Structure 1
Amino acid sequence: MNFDDYCQQKAAPPGSSTYYALKRAPATYQPLLTALFALRKEFEETVKEMSDPAIGRTRFAWWQQEIAALAAGQPTHPVSQALAAHAEKNPLEYPALQALLAGYAMDLDQARYLDYPNLRRYLNSVGGAFAVLVARTTARDPLQASQWAAPLGEALMLAQIIDELGRDARCGRIYIPVDEMQRFNVIAADLINGRYSDEFTSLMRFQTARARDALHLAQSTVPAAERRWQGTLRAQVALALALLDEIERDGYQVLHQRVALTPIRKLWITWRATYAS
C-alpha cells in the first residue's frame, strides 16, 4: 500500500462523508487534502482512542517529532510522506500543523468544559485550525482565509460533538459544557449509560439549534470569490446540516448509536452544495 492509498483508507474510505466531501475539491488538490484529513484522523486516534493516557502522550510526542521531521524533509510516516509529496506546489505551514496537534493534545488533559467560552477554546484550537489548513490549500487569498474558515471549523466541530456524543461519553469525554447540562438537569451518568429523557431531549434541541445556527452563519461569511474553490468545506457544512436534521427526526437517539446518512444521499447533498448554489 503506497502512502496515497494509506491516506485514502485512513481518512476517506468509499462511502464515507469525507470521501464525498473531498470529491468536491478541485482534482489537483484532492491528494493533498486527503493527506491533511488523514493527518487529522491520526491526531484524533492518538488522543481520543487511547485507553491508557501514557500511551497517548507517547504517541503525541512521536507526532511532534514527526512533524519536525516533515519540516526537515525527512518524513517517515505514510501520511507525512504524502504531505511532503503533494505540498511541493502548495507549501505547508508546519507551525500550523504543530498548533493543530497541540489542540488535540487538550484531550489528554481535559475531558469536561465548565462553560461554552471554555469549550470554544477547544473548538478553535482543533476545528478552527483544521478548517484554516483546508481552506488555505485552495484559497485564492490564503492570507485572509483564517477570518472565515475558522468559524466554519468551529461550527463543524459543534455538529460532530452532537453526532459522537454517546461514543465520546463512553470514552470519558463530554464536550457539552457542565453549566448547560446543569441548566437542563442532565448528568454525566445519563450520557455514559445511554439514559434518554425529556430533559436530555431539551438539552439536545438546544445544542442542535446552536450548531445549526453556527453553520449557517459561518457559511454565509465565505467570500463569493472563494466559494467555488472551497468545495470540500462547503460539502462538509451541507452534510453536517443534513445529519443534524436526521438526528432531530430520530429524536436525538445519539447515545447508543451513530445516526448516518446513506451514501447516495451523501453524494446528492455534496453535489448540490457545490454545483446547485
Structure 2
Amino acid sequence: FCREIDDVVDEVSDPGVAQAKLDWWRKEVALTFSTSGRAPDHPALQALMPHLGTYAIEAHHLLQIIDGCQMDLDQSRYLDYANLQRYCHLVAGVVGEVAARIFGQTDAKTTEYAHRLGLAFQLTNIIRDVGEDAVRGRIYLPVNELQRFDVKAHELLKRGTSSDGTFTERFKALMVFQIERALAAYDEALALLPPADRRTQKPGLMMASIYRTLLREIATDPMLVLTQRVSLTPLRKFWLAWKVQALGRL
C-alpha cells in the first residue's frame, strides 16, 4: 500500500492525474473499512483487509499516509522544521506506528518510539536524496535553515555546479547540522522504546542500525549527496542486521 501511494507522486508527472489517483485511493480506503459489503478493487487492500483487526489498523492510518503524499503534490518547499516534521510524521511516523503493531507491540508507549524512529528514517532519506530531489525541483530542507547557513535554493537545484567557491563550506555546514539532528532523533527513539517491546521491535532496530550507519557514512563527505545516492553494501547491511538480531547491539 505505502509503495503504491508513494509511486503516485514519484512516477506520475501530471499533477491532475496524480490528484485523481490519490482521490481514488481515498475511496479505496473508505471501501476497505466500509460495512457495505463491497470490497476495494486494489489487491493490496484486499490482502490487508483480513488483518485489520489483528493489528488494530484503522482508516485514519492509511488516510494519513495518503495525506503525506498529498503534501508532496501540493508543495515542494518547507518553511521551517515544524512543517517538515508534520510531513515526516504522515509519510513515515504513521508507517512506523502501523509497523510496530504488526511486529507485535505490547506497550502503548512503543507508539512514541515508532513515531520518533519514523522521523529519523525520513530525515535520513531527505539527507541522502538532496541531489535526487533537486533534479525533481524539490527541496525538503527547511527554508529558514537554508537561510541560516546561507545556502541558496538555486544552488541546490543546480547541485552546486554554478556556485562560487564558498558553496562547499556552506553546504557542508548545513549538512552537518541536518545529520546531527537526525542522529539525535535515533537516540531519542531508542530511549523511548519500552524494554518489554525491544525483542518484538527488532526489525525496526535493524533498520535503525543500517540507517544510522548510512548517516555516518554521509557525514564523511556530505558533498556526495549532490551527485550520487550514498548506500551501504548488502554485506554491510547484513552484518549490521545480524548484530541486532544475534547480539542485540546497534
The TM-score with structure 1 as length reference comes to 0.80
**Judging changes above 3 Å, is the alpha-carbon distance between structure 1 residues 114 and 247 closer, same or farther for their aligned structure 2 residues?**
same
**Judging changes above 3 Å, is the alpha-carbon distance between structure 1 residues 154 and 192 closer, same or farther for their aligned structure 2 residues?**
same
1:153 is the counterpart of 2:118: yes
Residue 102 of structure 1 and its aligned partner are, at CA, apart by 1.3
The equivalent of 1:173 in structure 2 is: 138
The equivalent of 1:63 in structure 2 is: 25
The counterpart of 2:13, out of the listed 41, 51, 61, is: 51
Contact 2:134 2:159 survives alignment (8 Å): no
1:81 is the counterpart of 2:46: yes
Supply the distance in 1 between the matched residues of 2:21 and 2:158 (Cα, whole angstroms).
29
**Judging changes above 3 Å, is the alpha-carbon distance between structure 1 residues 88 and 122 closer, same or farther for their aligned structure 2 residues?**
closer
Contact 1:219 1:237 survives alignment (8 Å): no
Contact 2:109 2:194 survives alignment (8 Å): no
Residue 76 of structure 1 and its aligned partner are, at CA, apart by 2.1
SS of alignment partner, residue 76 of structure 1? coil
1:244 is the counterpart of 2:215: yes
Contact 2:109 2:193 survives alignment (8 Å): no
Supply the distance in 2 between the matched residues of 1:249 and 1:205 (Cα, whole angstroms).
10
1:198 is the counterpart of 2:169: yes
The equivalent of 1:98 in structure 2 is: 63
Supply the distance in 1 between the matched residues of 2:141 and 2:85 (Cα, whole angstroms).
11
1:182 is the counterpart of 2:182: no
Higher Rg: 2
Mark the runs of 5 or more structure 2 residues left unpaired by the alignment.
161-166
Contact 1:152 1:218 survives alignment (8 Å): yes
The equivalent of 1:264 in structure 2 is: 235
1:129 is the counterpart of 2:99: no
Contact 2:94 2:118 survives alignment (8 Å): yes
Tell me how many residue pairs correspond in the alignment.
Answer: 239
Residue deviations 1:1-50 (CA, integer Å, cap 9, x gap) = xxxxxxxxxxxxxxxxxxxxxxxxxxxxxxxxxxxxxx212111112333
The counterpart of 2:186, out of the listed 183, 205, 215, is: 215
Residue 86 of structure 1 and its aligned partner are, at CA, apart by 4.7
Supply the distance in 2 between the matched residues of 1:192 and 1:156 (Cα, whole angstroms).
23
The TM-score with structure 2 as length reference comes to 0.88
Residue 265 of structure 1 and its aligned partner are, at CA, apart by 0.9
Residue 142 of structure 1 and its aligned partner are, at CA, apart by 5.8
Supply the distance in 2 between the matched residues of 1:168 and 1:232 (Cα, whole angstroms).
28
Supply the distance in 2 between the matched residues of 1:142 and 1:51 (Cα, whole angstroms).
42
The equivalent of 1:115 in structure 2 is: 80
Supply the distance in 2 between the matched residues of 1:57 and 1:98 (Cα, whole angstroms).
14
Contact 1:132 1:149 survives alignment (8 Å): yes
Q: Which one-letter code corresponds to 1:274 in the other structure?
A: Q
Mark the runs of 5 or more structure 1 residues left unpaired by the alignment.
1-38
Residue 149 of structure 1 and its aligned partner are, at CA, apart by 1.3
**Judging changes above 3 Å, is the alpha-carbon distance between structure 1 residues 202 and 61 closer, same or farther for their aligned structure 2 residues?**
same
Residue 147 of structure 1 and its aligned partner are, at CA, apart by 2.1
Supply the distance in 1 between the matched residues of 2:100 and 2:57 (Cα, whole angstroms).
12
Supply the distance in 1 between the matched residues of 2:2 and 2:70 (Cα, whole angstroms).
12
**Judging changes above 3 Å, is the alpha-carbon distance between structure 1 residues 164 and 81 closer, same or farther for their aligned structure 2 residues?**
same
The equivalent of 2:164 in structure 1 is: none
